[in-house]
Structure 1
Amino acid sequence: MHLFVSEYGQFIGKKSERLVVSSKGKVVQEIPFRDLTQVTIASRGVSISTDAIEGCIEFGVPVNFLSFNGKPYAMLISPVLNATVTTRREQLKAYDDERGVYLAKAFVAGKIGNQANLVKYFAKHRKEKDIYPTLMANAREIEDLKNQVDAVEGSTVNDVRPYLMNLEGRAAAIYWQDIGEIAVGEEFNGRKHRGAQDPFNACLNYGYGILYNQVWGAILLAGLEPFAGFLHVDRPGKPSLVLDMVEEFRPAAVDRPIVALLSRGWRPKLEEDGGMTRESRREVADAVLTRLDGKERYDGEKRSIKHIIVSQARRVAAYLRGERNYSAFVSSW
């Protein structure tokens, strides 16, 4: 279970082997530590006891902190991870050899493939509408761009990055025009990142913050270094591997539930500063967390997307150690 705390003034404590959430002196939720996978605090004015923190760490439950606009700003996790020295050494070496090239290409191919499949997913529910042929044609165009990723060659990731980013950008231009129209129609005015105040982009950015925490935690548990990526360039304070791995999960884990939510006519309420209200943040969080618990076919079985994220991080680590190949996760449609 992913506990999401978003009420101002709530207190998170510990009672025996349970995490207890209370408000104004009254208990509102009790969850056994063994049933928790993550705790996310997404409001100011929330307190957590050191006993609760210790309990979470003992049971391997990361505690995440989100700002009002969904930006992760802190994470509490045990310093005793499943990391191996070999994994991180190989990760750093891979930046300058063919392994970095392979992973960068896999991340981009996975993202573009999932974008094409999400367009097809929404198209199949609109077969009786005029937009259906256009969506399917655009999905095929996005798939053509994905297929071009294999042809990109280079000795290091620095050689291939410009070409991969070009393909990614061209796919995104087609994808966002389709997805934006499905979600909010004529209200869509382009994809915006920081400081977005329109409903669609505000919801997406908040949802991505939740996804970042999922991926970051999986990377740490796999023994990888979050700040040593391949596709995204290194910058101080920039978790480039987190940003790399997030790419293949954005369409399936966040875009799909947000588009579904907005296409039904729901719109978030915004504060004067452009941020969403607490109630709207909760609505978006519920949609994304429900999707993260949703099942996709993976290795011949139905697995939750949260499980797949953890498995994919471990497979990146195993690939870097030379133990197995790595393939990006691509959702069904």
Structure 2
Amino acid sequence: MRQLLNTLYVNTPNAYLASEGNNVKIIIDQDCVGQLPLQNFESIVTFGYAGASSGLMQKCLNQGIALSFMQPNGQIKGRVSGKPTGNVYLRRTQFRVADDDQAKLKLARNFILGKVFNQRWVIERFIRDHGMQVDQAKLKAVSVTLKDGLDKIQRAVDMESLRGIEGNLATEYFSVINDLIINQIEAFSFHDRIRRPPLDRVNALMSFAYSLLANECGGALIVNGLDPYVGFMHVDRPGREGLALDLMEELRAVIADRFVLRMINLKILRSSDFKQAPDGAVLLTDEARKKFLTKWHENEQKTLQHPYLNEKIEWGLVPFAQSQLLARCLRGDLDEYPPFLWK
């Protein structure tokens, strides 16, 4: 398993990135406010609008460092990455599978199996850890529904029925998210998943976390020689990384949702950490986004025992590990793609 290196998050909106020697320089109002060795990072994510120099981009390309540009709400604007890695025959296989209804259904079922399995265990863990503070009967009922849904997913005969099952189970799961908020309940109430734009604080945090996770999944797929734009569950759409969205399905609850709930319940973020845009969208303030990214990075450094590989790895390597397993499956080294199943 590869080593987990750091990600440099540049949060200041007017920061311009440049290079000097083998360092990345952070420049604000023509003053250098920071200079860090490029060799310490495997990716750079900037939320600034000032951009980056061509010299820095060239060095990132040469050293395999992904340079991603994101909007303040976490939506990715673009990514600079080097030459495609891996074998072209792997990508040709990926494209053939994407055009084969039964082959892609087999993979899509496993993505959604992992998603629903992990959603259920987020709820079960919460019952175990906070049983005196939650409506156990309500949470148990949804947990049972999700467990029963696993059989339905395995029996799905086409993509349309699979998407219908997944949609119904997602509604069940999100119906109890508000019950998992046990602190700051009035400031962080959640009723429905609202994406574009997020209109409340919980949705704003979820959207931001999902965007970070999608960017990491896209980068992990590229490193493993796959095309992040050609998915199996998500239909092709210009500019959308369908396979990255496929891969992150099984990781949403266990990586992003748990993180968001922890930020709320531990009172790391408060109502004062948000602002409202003219279109009604709720966004993190610049300072709050810095806190979010700091804790996100800390969370990625924590370790777990990977359920399939049976190796101890950092959470930040889970997208890479799953991308690697997907590539092995497409090459025929594995009979089936093993989803990430967390307990």
TM-score > 0.5 by shorter chain: yes
Quick one: distance in 1 between partners of 2:294 and 2:37? Answer: 20
The amino acid that maps onto 1:217 is: G
Classify the secondary structure of the residue corresponding to 1:106: helix
Structure 1 contact 206–284 (Cα < 8 Å) conserved = no
- Going from structure 1 to structure 2, the CA distance change for 1:25 and 1:234 (only over 3 Å counts) comes to closer
The amino acid that maps onto 2:222 is: L
Quick one: distance in 1 between partners of 2:214 and 2:30? Answer: 32
Structure 2 contact 214–244 (Cα < 8 Å) conserved = yes
2:110 corresponds to: 106
Structure 1 contact 10–21 (Cα < 8 Å) conserved = yes
Which one of the candidate residues 60, 63, 72 is aligned to 1:59?
A: 63
Structure 2 contact 177–190 (Cα < 8 Å) conserved = no
2:328 corresponds to: 318
Q: CA deviation at 1:130?
A: 4.6
2:84 corresponds to: 81
1:257 corresponds to: 259
2:298 corresponds to: 290
Structure 2 contact 135–179 (Cα < 8 Å) conserved = no
Q: Structure 2 unaligned runs (5+)?
A: 1-5
Quick one: distance in 2 between partners of 1:38 and 1:145? Answer: 37
1:135 corresponds to: 139
Structure 2 contact 236–242 (Cα < 8 Å) conserved = yes
1:39 corresponds to: 44
Classify the secondary structure of the residue corresponding to 1:3: strand
Q: CA deviation at 1:287?
A: 3.2
2:341 corresponds to: 330
Q: CA deviation at 1:41?
A: 0.6
- Going from structure 1 to structure 2, the CA distance change for 1:128 and 1:189 (only over 3 Å counts) comes to closer
How much identity, in percent, do the aligned residues show? 23
Quick one: distance in 1 between partners of 2:239 and 2:313? Answer: 32
Q: CA deviation at 1:172?
A: 1.2
- Going from structure 1 to structure 2, the CA distance change for 1:130 and 1:256 (only over 3 Å counts) comes to closer
Query: 1:290-321 CA deviation, whole Å, 9 max, x = no partner?
Result: 33333222122221222121121122122112
- Going from structure 1 to structure 2, the CA distance change for 1:130 and 1:52 (only over 3 Å counts) comes to closer
Classify the secondary structure of the residue corresponding to 1:44: coil
RMSD over aligned CA atoms reads 2.0
Q: CA deviation at 1:27?
A: 4.5
1:271 corresponds to: 276
The amino acid that maps onto 2:340 is: F
Which one of the candidate residues 17, 26, 29 is aligned to 1:21?
A: 26
The amino acid that maps onto 1:261 is: M
Which aligned pairs between 1:122-201 and structure 2 lie closer than 5 A? 122-153=126-157, 160-183=158-181, 185=185, 187-201=189-203
Q: Structure 1 unaligned runs (5+)?
A: 154-159
2:314 corresponds to: 304
Classify the secondary structure of the residue corresponding to 2:284: coil
Structure 2 contact 134–180 (Cα < 8 Å) conserved = no
- Going from structure 1 to structure 2, the CA distance change for 1:9 and 1:100 (only over 3 Å counts) comes to same
1:223 corresponds to: 225
1:90 corresponds to: 93
Classify the secondary structure of the residue corresponding to 1:270: strand
Structure 1 contact 83–222 (Cα < 8 Å) conserved = yes
* Structure 1 range deviating more: 29-38 or 17-26: 17-26
Classify the secondary structure of the residue corresponding to 1:109: helix
Quick one: distance in 2 between partners of 1:31 and 1:136? Answer: 49
2:289 corresponds to: 281
Is 2:118 aligned against 1:120? Answer: no
